Structure 1
Amino acid sequence: MGKILAVAVIAALIYFLIVPRFRIKKKDDATELLACDECGTYFSSDELALRDKKRLCKSCEAKLRGGK
């Protein structure tokens, strides 16, 4: 009886202490989507540029600069 209890305790320790470290953690990074003020397309906040207090995507920013 004592051996079975010892094995059960060891198995429980392994399951609750060691196994969770190897599980894949879910990413909880929610990126904020913002609309381009020129074309209205939604982009992540790091893809938009601020120009004259407007949020612009890269293609709209290039158009306003007179680029390609």
Structure 2
Amino acid sequence: MLSKIIIFILIIAIIYFFIIPKFRGKKPRNDGDNFVECSKCDTFVELKDSVIKDGKYICKECLK
């Protein structure tokens, strides 16, 4: 009786850890969370709102 319960728990664990995660979608990657420091004004801006000039990140406000 005890061995049947252990086998049942192992089967449920295998299904839970190996089969179910494959059906869940992967989380979309959020590139907006990447921040860099502006080399001129020392503020942190999103990577998409910055420009690389002379190998350093510069925010769009400092380019004006």
TM-score, normalization by structure 2: 0.46
Q: Higher relative contact order at CA 8 Å, sep ≥6: structure 1 or structure 2?
A: 2
Q: TM-score, normalised by structure 1?
A: 0.45
Q: Which has the higher strand share?
A: 2
